[in-house]
């Protein structure tokens, strides 16, 4: 069977994978079973937590004798652990398949290693087919799995002189309506939105994603509150359509690992200067989303607090990714170098 046939089947498996849920603990995976002659015998994709994985879903369409000697093309390396379902690598071994072709290795500490298990069982394994395309498709899940934490975007809105509030603490509104709409779009596109308890107590945010008329958008991020102080029972965040996750800790790496284990792949942080600076200092910010308004406020209320930069040689340089004009405001996107 040719590499071209593998690539065609992998592209179809990728189309199948796109039918699965885009959020949650599990990745979107698709699988295609080919006969020794290269004909499609079955296909499957993962429909969500607790359901059969893509390979098993495809095998379930076949009689046992049909799977023997077949080639299974799957977007992600077959898993090697028992969770809500058994290991896919063992299911493929038990089915008697002759070859497994996959695009990207599973980076999970518990789930990885399926390819080696297959090889030990005498099954031919081919890796890396359309790996670049599958990497892009699974980028958020792969990042979270590889780093044991979500991809973190830190956002703030500030005046041109870097102030996020006036001297009395008032901050509504520094930016205009178009910029505020973009913030809600970014919230909607994120798995979760995180603030500290200080922000909850001071501003009482709802952390919802809303449309132009203030209506709730169909897709909502999970609200997360981080800090050791209690969240009031009547806080607006407790009326969020999704249950709030309260993390009573200051341990950022541990908190992010907890979120990743809950299926949070992308995290949008809207923190005050103390918590925002803690994320930056710990090296836990993957992208900065900074809204700048053409106004001046002066005073002490800056976007970030002390970052431990004692001299100009220690400044934290960023790579500029994009600058977008939103009416009178600017949205600057940057990433750490």
Query: Would you name the residues annotated as active-site residues?
Result: 55
| Cβ partners under 8 Å of residue 203, min gap 6 | 171
| Cβ partners under 8 Å of residue 290, min gap 6 | 155, 156, 157, 158, 303, 331, 332, 333, 334
- Contact, 205 vs 323, CB < 8 A? no
How far apart (Å, rounded) are the C-alpha atoms in residues 104 and 250?
A: 35
Phi/psi at 33 (5° precision)? -105, 125
Q: DSSP secondary structure string, 262-299?
A: TT--EEEE---HHHHHHHHHTT--SEEEEEEES----S
How far apart (Å, rounded) are the C-alpha atoms in residues 143 and 140?
A: 5
Cα angle vertex 43, ends 139, 19, to 5°? Answer: 45
């Amino acid at each position: 069977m040719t590499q071209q046939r593998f690539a065609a089947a992998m592209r179809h498996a990728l189309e199948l994978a796109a039918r699965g849920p885009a959020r949650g603990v599990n990745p979107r995976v698709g699988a295609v079973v080919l006969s020794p002659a290269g004909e499609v015998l079955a296909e499957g994709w993962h429909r969500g937590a607790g359901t059969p994985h893509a390979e098993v879903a495809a095998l379930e369409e076949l009689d046992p004798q049909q799977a023997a000697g077949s080639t299974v093309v799957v977007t992600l390396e077959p898993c090697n652990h028992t969770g809500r379902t058994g290991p896919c690598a063992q299911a493929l071994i038990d089915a008697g398949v002759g070859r497994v072709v996959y695009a990207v290795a599973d980076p999970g500490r518990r789930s990885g290693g399926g390819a080696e298990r297959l090889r030990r069982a005498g099954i031919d394994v081919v890796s890396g087919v359309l790996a670049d395309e599958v990497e892009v498709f699974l980028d958020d899940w792969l990042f979270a799995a590889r780093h044991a934490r979500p991809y973190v975007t830190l956002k703030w809105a500030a005046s041109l002189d870097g102030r996020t509030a006036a001297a009395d603490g008032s901050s509504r509104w520094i930016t205009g309506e178009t910029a505020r709409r973009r913030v809600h779009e970014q919230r909607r596109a994120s798995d979760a939105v995180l603030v500290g308890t200080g922000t909850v107590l001071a501003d009482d945010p709802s952390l919802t994603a809303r449309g132009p008329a203030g209506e709730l958008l169909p897709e909502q991020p999970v609200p997360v509150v981080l800090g050791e102080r209690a969240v009031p029972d009547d806080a607006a965040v407790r009326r969020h359509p999704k249950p709030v996750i309260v993390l009573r800790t200051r341990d950022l790496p541990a908190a992010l690992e907890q979120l990743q284990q809950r299926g949070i792949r992308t995290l949008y942080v809207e923190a005050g200067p103390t918590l925002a600076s803690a994320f930056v200092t710990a090296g836990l910010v993957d992208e900065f989303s900074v809204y700048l308004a053409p106004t001046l406020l002066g005073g002490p209320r800056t976007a970030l607090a002390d970052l431990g930069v004692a001299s100009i040689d220690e400044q934290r340089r960023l790579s500029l990714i994009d600058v977008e004009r939103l009416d009178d405001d600017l949205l600057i996107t940057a990433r750490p170098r």
